[in-house]
Amino acid sequence: MTKFKAWLNAARLRTLPLSVSGIIVGAALAHLEGYSNVLIFSLAICTTIGFQVTSNFANDYGDGVKGTDNDDRIGPKRALQSGILTAKELKTGIMVSVLVNVVVSICLLLVAFGPDQIFLILFFLLLAIASIWAAIKYTVGNSAYGYRGLGDIFVFLFFGLLAVLGSMYLFTNYLSFQAILPAITIGLLSTAVLNLNNLRDAISDQKAGKNTIVVKIGFEKGKIYHFSLLIIAFLSLLFFTFLNYKSWVNVVHLLVFILIFTHGNKIRKTVHPKDIDPELKKLALSTFLLALMFYLSFNYFL
């Protein structure tokens, strides 16, 4: 494998559609309020992808140096685990991606708020720095929160609430109370994707001392937790749809939950952790499809 392919592998491209789902939903909410801006949307997408790539580099590095990524792990081999990239190279990649993230974030904030809104720019820049910190500290360092079962909370906050509400605010400069409902949906579905990862790696994580929620509550209860995330995500979006219903087309996006609950039923019946891996891509892409259909249901089908 070439170095270029190794970096692509470390970037984990299959995770990127999920990472932009919150931005798409935030833009949909803004458009529903009468606001749209292609440049803001494009920069927000680039910023989010940058955060995700940083997170993926950091996860590869953190789990690699801790020995969590080993032969017991069921998923694909990581760049550091396989020896294709060294720890030093990954650290350099993390630093470069952080620098790019900061530059793109500043560009986004200047376009969204203008140079005169210093307070808003500084506030959102702090949120961007917090996102970068969360991306890195999931697995890196002695106090990595992913090893203490806190990953689910951070994913819900950053992939759900911050991604959706923050991106909406970039367009509108205000938030609506109802916007919290689709933000909860995206946050819970993103958390469910992480939970799938933890279900798949439950045995190897336990051996490596990575105390995810699944390791703490067990594989079977982890499956119940997973289905609960899917149900609450559906109910939150159903309530938002009810509050904003004007035509039958406004419910089209809810059809995506047929795919999501079909996936949930598969997880319910799964006995062996190795059978979880194919479901990661299914749920991630279903969440991305849901975000696209949500946009279309309220903005373009009418």
What pLDDT sits at residue 146?
Answer: 79
How far apart CA 258 and CA 153 sit, in angstroms, is: 26
What pLDDT sits at residue 40?
Answer: 96
What pLDDT sits at residue 59?
Answer: 81
Q: Residues 133-139: contacts with CB within 8 Å, 24+ apart?
A: 134/55, 134/158, 135/51, 135/52, 135/54, 135/55, 135/58, 136/54, 136/55, 136/58, 136/94, 136/98, 138/55, 138/58, 138/59, 138/62, 139/58, 139/59, 139/61, 139/62, 139/63, 139/66, 139/68
What pLDDT sits at residue 120?
Answer: 94
What pLDDT sits at residue 301?
Answer: 57
What pLDDT sits at residue 92?
Answer: 87
What pLDDT sits at residue 58?
Answer: 83
Residue span of the structural domain in which 194 resides: 3-299
Contact partners, residue 281, CB within 8 Å, separation at least 6: 14
How far apart CA 163 and CA 178 sit, in angstroms, is: 15
What pLDDT sits at residue 274?
Answer: 83
**pLDDT, tens digit only, all 302 positions of the chain:** 566 777 777 777 888 899 999 999 999 999 999 999 999 999 999 999 999 988 888 887 777 665 555 555 555 666 666 667 777 888 888 899 999 999 999 999 999 999 999 999 999 999 999 998 988 888 776 777 878 888 899 999 999 999 999 999 999 999 999 999 999 999 999 999 999 999 998 888 888 788 899 999 999 999 999 999 999 999 999 999 999 998 889 999 999 999 999 999 999 999 888 889 889 999 999 999 999 999 999 887 54
The number of distinct structural domains making up the chain is: 1
